Structure 1
Amino acid sequence: MFEIDKKSNLLELPEYRYQLKEVDTPVMFREFYPYEEIPKIAFNNVHVPINMPSDIWITDTTFRDGQQSRAPYTTEQIVKIYKMLNRLGGPKGIIRQTEFFLYSEQDRRAALECMELGYEFPEITSWIRASKKDFQLVKDMGIKETGILVSCSDYHIFHKLHMKRSEAIEHYLGVVKECIEAGVKPRCHFEDITRADIFHFVIPFARELMKLMEETGVPVKIRACDTMGYGVCYPGSMIPRSVHGIIYNLHKDAGVPHELLEWHGHNDFYRAVANSTVAWLYGASSVNCSLFGIGERTGNTPLEAMVIEYAQLKGTLDGMDPTVITELAEYYERELGEVIPPRTPFVGKNFNVTRAGIHADGLLKNEEIYNIFDTDKLLNRPARVAISNTSGLAGIAHWINSNPSLYDLNELDKNDPLCLYLKQWVDEEYENGRVTLITDEELEQLIEEYMSKKQ
Structure 2
Amino acid sequence: MQMRTDLILEDTTLRDGEQAPGVALSKVQKLEILQALLGAGVKWIEVGIPKMGGEELDYLHASLDYADQAVLVAWNRGVKDDICFSLDMGFKAVHIGLPTSDVHLKSSVAKDRSWVSQQASDMVKYAKDRGAFVSISAEDVGRTDASFLQDYAGIVAEAGADRLRLSDTIGILGPEGYAERVSFAVRAADIAVHCHCHNDFGLAVANTIAGLKAGAKFFHVCVNSMSERAGMPDLAQMVMALKCIYDRDLGIDTTKLTDLANLVSNHTGVANEPWRPVVGKNVFAHESGIHSNGMLKDPRSFEPISPDEVGGTRRIVIGKHAGRAAIEYTLKNANIAVAPDLLVDCLDKVRQQSILQGSEITSAQLIDIYRAVESDATGNAAPN
TM category, shorter? 0.7 to 0.9
Please show how residues 135-284 of structure 1 align to structure 2 within 5 Å.
135-199=83-147, 201-213=148-160, 219-234=161-176, 242-256=177-191, 260-284=192-216
Structure-2 separation of matches of 1:65 and 1:161: 20
Cα deviation code 1:243-296 (max 9, x no counterpart): 22211121112332xxx2100001111111111111111111111111111111
Structure-2 separation of matches of 1:308 and 1:85: 16
| CA RMSD across the alignment | 3.2
CA contact (8 A) 1:384 1:399 kept: no
Structure 1: gaps of 5 or more residues? 1-49, 214-218, 235-241, 402-410, 417-421
Q: Which residue of 1 aligns with 2:315?
A: 384
Q: What is the aligned length?
A: 367
1:302 deviation in Å?
A: 0.8
Please show how residues 45-84 of structure 1 align to structure 2 within 5 Å.
50-69=1-20, 70-84=22-36
Which of the pair is proportionally richer in helix? Answer: 2
Equivalent residue letter for 1:79: L
Inter-CA distance 99–286: structure 2 relative to 1 (3 Å threshold): same
1:184 deviation in Å?
A: 3.3
Structure-2 separation of matches of 1:268 and 1:185: 30
Structure-2 separation of matches of 1:263 and 1:327: 26
Q: Which residue of 1 aligns with 2:380?
A: none
Q: Which residue of 2 aligns with 1:120?
A: 69
1:136 deviation in Å?
A: 2.5
Equivalent residue letter for 1:379: V
Single out whichever of 303-312 and 126-135 deviates more from structure 2.
126-135
Cα deviation code 1:108-164 (max 9, x no counterpart): 22223232145422x211112333332222122211111211101111123333323
Q: Identity over the aligned pairs, expressed in percent?
A: 23
Secondary structure in structure 2 of the residue aligned to 1:225: strand
Inter-CA distance 222–116: structure 2 relative to 1 (3 Å threshold): same
Structure-1 separation of matches of 2:364 and 2:58: 43
Please show how residues 290-329 of structure 1 align to structure 2 within 5 Å.
290-312=222-244, 315=247, 317=249, 319-329=251-261
Structure-1 separation of matches of 2:80 and 2:367: 61
Structure 2: gaps of 5 or more residues? 370-382
Equivalent residue letter for 1:109: D
Secondary structure in structure 2 of the residue aligned to 1:267: coil
1:395 deviation in Å?
A: 1.9
Equivalent residue letter for 1:88: A
CA contact (8 A) 1:138 1:184 kept: no
CA contact (8 A) 1:188 1:222 kept: yes
CA contact (8 A) 2:196 2:219 kept: yes
Inter-CA distance 414–445: structure 2 relative to 1 (3 Å threshold): closer
Secondary structure in structure 1 of the residue aligned to 2:109: coil
1:399 deviation in Å?
A: 5.8
TM-score by length of structure 2 reads 0.84
Structure-1 separation of matches of 2:280 and 2:198: 20
Inter-CA distance 132–447: structure 2 relative to 1 (3 Å threshold): farther
1:68 deviation in Å?
A: 0.7
1:337 deviation in Å?
A: 2.1
Secondary structure in structure 1 of the residue aligned to 2:114: helix
